[in-house]
A = this chain, B = another copy of it.
Amino acid sequence: MTGDKKIVIIGCGAGGGTAAQFARKIDRKATITIFEHGKYPHYSKCGLPYAISGEISEFKDLIEFSEDWFKKEHIDLFLETTVDEIDIKNQIIFAKKGNEQIKKEFDSLILATGAKPFIPPIQNIQKENALLNGVHVLRTIDDGKRISSSIKKGKKATIVGAGLIGLEMANSFYKKGMDVTIVEALPNILENTIDNDMCEPVLKELHEKTKLCTNHTATKLEEKDGTIDRVFIKDNKTNEEKKVETDILVIATGAKPDVSLAKSIGCKIGKTGGIIINEKAESSVKNVYAVGDCTEYKDFITKESVCIGLGSIAVRQAIAAGINAAGGKYNLPKGVLLTRTSEFFGIEIAAVGPVKNACQNIPVLYGKFKGSSLPDYFPGGKPILMKVGVHEGTDRIVSAQAVGINVAQRINTFACAILNKADVEDFKKLETAYAPPIAPTLDALTLVCDVASLKLARKRR
C-alpha cells in the first residue's frame, strides 16, 4: 500500500501511536512510518506502577497497540531504531536500526519524542555512566521490569519525589510488603497536583504506612558490593543529615522534554523546555508537528505555557497532529485544563485547572467543602473534600480539586464547566443525579460552589 502522502512519526509512546492511528483514519493510503528507540510499541507508561504492584499481571499487558496492529493498519513500525538526523530542508529522516541505515522522506513529521527522567544531583548516583545498581527511574517497561525483579517483601524501598508517580510507586511497594521511605525536597507533597490544604487525607495515610520525609534532600548514596545500601538525606531547614538504609531507590523527580531532534531542525523551544505547539499541534517549523511530553502548550486559565506530562493530553494532541498531518482538520481547545487524577493508599485525588501557586497573577477566590459520597442516611458513604477556585472578576470557575472517593468523574464535571466558561452562580444550581446508593440530593460538587458564592457575596457587600 503506497499513497502520495508520507508521514513520519518519531516515538511510539501514547503520543506517537495515537497520532499514527488517527492519521490512518483520515488517509487510508498515506505511507506512515514510526521510529521508536525502545523495544515495545505503544504501551501505557502510566500503567507501570500497577504492573509493578501486580494489579496488572504482566508488563506486556500494558501494550495497547501491538506490532500486529500496526501491521494490519499498514503502518511501518521500526522498533529499537534511533533517528540520527533530520534533513529538514529536503524532508528526510536518517535512522539506524542495529547496523541497518534507514532513510525516509516525509511530507509531514510528528515528533513524539517524550521526556527523559530528571536525575537530581545526588553524589554517587551514577557509576560507569549508568545509574548505580539498585537505583531506578520509571519511564519504560524495562525500567519497570528491573524494579519488579528487585522487589522483596520486608526489603526497604526509598523514593525520591512525592509527586504523582512517586506516590503511586510508594503505594506499589507498600502493597508488596516493602518498608517505604519517601524523600521530598519541598515542604509538601503533590506540589503541582493539588494545593497543600487538600493533602491532609493523603498525608494521614502516608504517615501511617510509610516514612515520609518532606523538606529533605537526598544528597549522597553509599553502596555495598556494587549495589545501593544507604541514602543520605539532609533536612533542608536544620541541615541535619540522616542515613536511610535502602535496597531500592526510585528517582521520581519529574522529567524533561526530549527536544534534541526538535532543536536540531530549529523548532522553537518554550520557557518550560518543551517544543512550542499551536492549536493544530504544529511546531514552529513547517510540516513538523509535536505531541505529548516533549511539548509545551498554553494553560487554558493562566495562558502561561505549561509542560504537561499527562498521557491524557498526549493522546489528545496526537489526535490533532495525526488528523492534521494526514490532511484533516482538528483544532485543540485554546489551552489545557490539566484534568488529572490518581489513587494511592485507598484515596482518590483529582483536580482540574491551575493549582493556587500557579495563579499568582489571577484574582482567585476559593471555596472549600467537606461532603460525603452518599446521603448521610445511606451506609458506606466516604468523605469527599472539595475545593473550587473562582475568578473574582468574572465569577467564572477556574479550578477544582477533590480528594476522597469517586472524585475523578466529579472533576470532569468541573472540567466541562471551565471549558464552557461557566459562572459559579449558574454552576452551583446544577441539577446533579441523585439516588440513595449513588449520590446525595445536593452533591459536594455544587455545595462547594455555594461556599465560594457566599464568600464572593460577602466580599462585595
Contacts and interface: CB of A to CB of B under 8 A. Distances in A.
Interface of A: 14, 44, 46-47, 50, 55-57, 61-64, 310-313, 315-316, 332-333, 336-343, 348, 350, 352, 375-379, 406, 408-413, 415-417, 419-422, 426-427, 429-439, 441-443, 445
A325 B407 CA distance: 35
A337 B434 CA distance: 13
16 contacts: A47-B377, A311-B441, A313-B431, A315-B441, A316-B429, A333-B431, A341-B438, A342-B438, A409-B412, A412-B443, A413-B416, A416-B430, A419-B426, A419-B430, A420-B420, A420-B426
A341 B434 contact: yes
Integer count of this chain's copies in the complex: 2
Contacts of A438: 341-343, 348, 350, 408
Contacts of A50: 378, 436-437
A55 to B, nearest CB: 7
A244 B268 CA distance: 77
Contact of A377 (B64, B376, B435): B64
A376 B64 contact: yes
Contacts of A56: 377-379, 436
A61 B350 contact: no
B311 A434 contact: yes
Query: 5 shortest A-B CB distances, which residue pairs?
Result: A409-B409, A341-B433, A420-B420, A312-B434, A408-B433
Contacts of A340: 433-435
B312 A429 contact: no
Contacts of A408: 433, 435, 438-439
A62 B312 contact: no
Contacts of A442: 312, 315
A343 B435 contact: yes
A430 B406 CA distance: 19
Given A430-B412, A430-B419, A432-B415, A55 B316 contact: no
Nearest to A55: B379
Contacts of A332: 429
- Residue of A310, A376, A433 most packed against chain B (CB within 10 A): A433
Contacts of A431: 312-313, 316, 333, 336-339, 352, 415, 419
Contacts of A47: 375, 377-378, 436
Contacts of A434: 46, 310-312, 339-341
A375 B50 CA distance: 12
Contacts of A419: 422, 426-427, 430-431
- Residue of A336, A419, A432, A439 most packed against chain B (CB within 10 A): A432
Contacts of A441: 14, 311-312, 315
- Residue of A44, A56, A412 most packed against chain B (CB within 10 A): A412
A373 to B, nearest CB: 10
Contacts of A14: 441
A369 to B, nearest CB: 16
Contacts of A443: 412
- Residue of A14, A64, A378 most packed against chain B (CB within 10 A): A378
A420 B338 CA distance: 20
A356 B442 CA distance: 27
A219 to B, nearest CB: 32
Contacts of A315: 441-442
Contact of A44 (B343, B348, B377): B377
Contacts of A422: 416, 419-420
